[in-house]
């Protein structure tokens, strides 16, 4: 079935950048949420970077996206997480 709402072709590698304040367990919490929606997420698709002042942490998770609803659900859960400030 062709999804007319997206230009993506599934499955595809899809990087998601999640930013929040630096805190203990932030990266692990993000990976837990990502694996809920992309159970095959592999840590080779994981990167983490602190801001220059160290106040914020950016986590990039490259998932194998299988559908637009999967990505929508993942974005919804990440953006509603109290530790997350921005999802790109």
pLDDT tens, the chain, 88 aa long = 444 577 889 999 999 999 999 999 999 999 999 999 999 999 999 999 999 999 999 999 999 999 999 999 999 999 999 999 999 9
| For the chain, counts of helices (H) and of strands (E) | 2, 4
Instruction: Answer yes or no: is 17 within a domain.
Output: yes
pLDDT score, position 73: 98
pLDDT score, position 4: 57
- The structural domain count of the chain equals 1
**Ramachandran angles phi, psi of 23, nearest 5°:** -155, 155
Instruction: Answer yes or no: is 6 within a domain.
Output: no
Instruction: Answer yes or no: is 52 within a domain.
Output: yes
Instruction: Answer yes or no: is 48 within a domain.
Output: yes
Instruction: Answer yes or no: is 2 within a domain.
Output: no
The CATH number that applies at residue 78 is: 3.30.70.260
Local structure of 73: helix, strand or coil: helix
Q: Is the pTM of this model over 0.85?
A: yes
Q: Which whole-number Å values give the CA distances from 88 to 1, 2, 6, 9, 63, in the listed order?
A: 26, 24, 16, 19, 13
């Amino acid at each position: 079935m062709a999804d007319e709402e997206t230009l993506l072709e599934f499955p595809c590698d899809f990087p998601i950048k999640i930013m929040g304040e630096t805190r203990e367990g932030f990266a692990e919490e993000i990976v837990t949420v990502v694996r809920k929606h992309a159970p095959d997420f592999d840590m080779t698709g994981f990167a983490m970077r602190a801001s220059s002042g160290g106040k914020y942490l950016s986590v990039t998770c490259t998932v194998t996206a299988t559908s637009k609803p999967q990505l929508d659900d993942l974005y919804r859960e990440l953006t509603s997480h109290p530790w997350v400030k921005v999802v790109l």
